[in-house]
A and B are shown apart, each in its own frame.
Chain A
Amino acid sequence: MAPLPAERRDLSRRTYRTLKIAAEIAVPLALLAAWQLWTTHASDPNFPRLSTILVEFRKMWLFSQFGTHVVPSLERIGLGFVIAVVAGILIGIPLGLSRWARLWALPHIEYWRAVPPPALLPISVILLHSIGNRQKVAFIAFFCMFPVLLNTIDGVRGIDPTLVETGRSYGLGRLERVWRIVLPAALPQIVAGMRNSLSLAVITMVLAEYFSSSSGVGYVLLISKNTFQLAPMWAAIVLIGLLGYLLNLLFILFERRLLAWHRGWRASAPA
């Protein structure tokens, strides 16, 4: 194959880029249009038109029911997530550092991470009914802890021993080594775990609100289904999807700032 002249190669490259970007915009729009067309055409009551859903979405969530239902859901996610992250890191670091502690904890971690969370929903209600709304937070926090915990353990175990020895040779105490060396070095892994646990937080929030709640997006979803209000139901589904998407996006922005060094470092590392 004869190489193209530089000029033409540049041109075809540019065309390709433009086409690619066009496709990135066009495909989602086409999918939305297809949805609208199909729902209009099929007129199945279970699948209201996209436009109807969007109108309903605006009516419900912007912002008449925002305070009564979205805010409680967000609170539960936020609180559960924060507790999960703090607990996951606090437990994960000693487990990552000590082989014996890990051996002790391993069977429990392996069991609970594999248990389907909804299996514990009824039990969590029985055990924690006395703490009311916080039962849902506890449920969310418990299951969201595992991705952070497991990643913290892995991150701590993966630390370069030279780094820790450097700290030791300069007389840094144990706590100081953890704070100045172990934690920052494990941070990229921990943050990856946090992202997984954030999407898990949305899922467990919906489950917990289905099961026992009188507020929240999951609750609205359940009620509108029970009363066959399809547009509100779809609006709730779209909202939950959007919530998952936006939280993920927000987190990625946060991660970029926090781990700017990590990207640069990896990019500079010889392959």
Chain B
Amino acid sequence: MANAVDAAASAARTEVERPAETRHRRFRPIELLVFVTSIASAFLFWELISRTGTVSQQDVPAMSTTVKELWSLMQTSGFWGAFARTVRGWALGLGLATLLAVPIGILLGSSEFASGAFRVPIEFLRPIPSAALIPLLFLTLGTSLKSEVFLATFGAFWPLLVQTMYGVRDVDPVAIETARAYGVGSFERLYRITLPSAVPYIATGLRISSNVALILAFTAELFMGIPGLGQKVNYAQAFGLNEQLFAYALATGFLGVAIHLVFTAVERRALKWHPSQRSAET
């Protein structure tokens, strides 16, 4: 009991996100209609403010113009090259962060001593805005993929670390005690009990980190001129090509939405077979 309270308190301190509840509910046709109408009206609104001159078309190209621009960009290899580079930076950053954060998180999460020892450095490093490291990366790793991956890894590392630590700590102590009583070894306990029950937390961490990694990959490209969508946005802005600027921003947004949807689905999956969830559903 007291442990649970401690865990809850430390969770509050370190911004752990509890895995989201799964709410399965199918859309009724009328609800789908509202949903679609809402999107359509937003596009219409965009079209109108530009066409009617509420905002000058110079500043904000109309929706149709932007979409047309995006469409024609999508016929070029330059667009897809940039797109692929951004995805590569994102994937490498997220992958590396996962490889680092999950084992370290398990280590720190399963040892009260270790997590205590590293509490202060972690609490201090975690809130550092990764964007502040850009100038340093400029000077050390230079304008290269390495910088982009480093930045994305750094940013994506922390949410995953914290989630993993908390997930490992949140294991039902009764399950562990039971396993010990039956003489299950410590490695097998880790593998059979601790990890499976930490999976939903790690999945939530992945969802958060996937977004962070994209933001930072894009940021690196934008501010450091590393090839990718960010660089394209930067050029478009520098040369006053507003139509391209909006088209690339739109494309980046869609990439973000796609990543978010994929990782939300992964999180749902991870939650589905989790024992705590199963009992809640019946």
Contacts and interface: CB of A to CB of B under 8 A. Distances in A.
Interface of A: 16, 19-21, 23-24, 26-28, 31, 46, 100, 103-108, 110-123, 125-127, 192, 195-196, 199, 202-203, 206-207, 210-211, 218, 221-222, 224-225, 228, 230, 233-234, 236-237, 240-241, 244-245, 247-248, 252, 255, 263, 266-267, 271
Interface of A is mostly: helix
B117 A245 contact: no
A118 B128 CA distance: 17
B78 interface: no
Contact of B127 (A104, A114, A192, A241): A241
Contacts of A228: 139
A206 B132 contact: yes
A27 B139 CA distance: 29
A26 B116 CA distance: 11
B54 to A, nearest CB: 12
Nearest to A225: B135
A24 B138 contact: no
Contact of A248 (B1, B4, B119, B127): B127
A206 B38 CA distance: 34
Nearest to B35: A103
Nearest to A256: B12
Contact of A196 (B15, B39, B124): B15
Interface string B29-60: 00100110011001000000000000100011
A123 B222 contact: no
Task: Give chain B's interface residue range (CB within 8 Å of chain A).
Answer: 35 or more
Given A105-B38, A107-B35, A122-B237, A116 B120 contact: no
Contacts of A104: 34-35, 38
Contact of A20 (B35, B112, B233): B112
A245 B253 contact: no
Contacts of B112: 20
Contact of A106 (B5, B8, B35, B246): B35
Contacts of B5: 266-267
B246 A123 contact: yes
A192 B8 CA distance: 13
B249 A225 contact: no
Given A104-B34, A211-B223, A218-B131, 12 more contacts: A46-B136, A107-B38, A114-B260, A116-B214, A118-B218, A120-B249, A195-B15, A207-B131, A237-B132, A240-B132, A267-B8, A271-B4
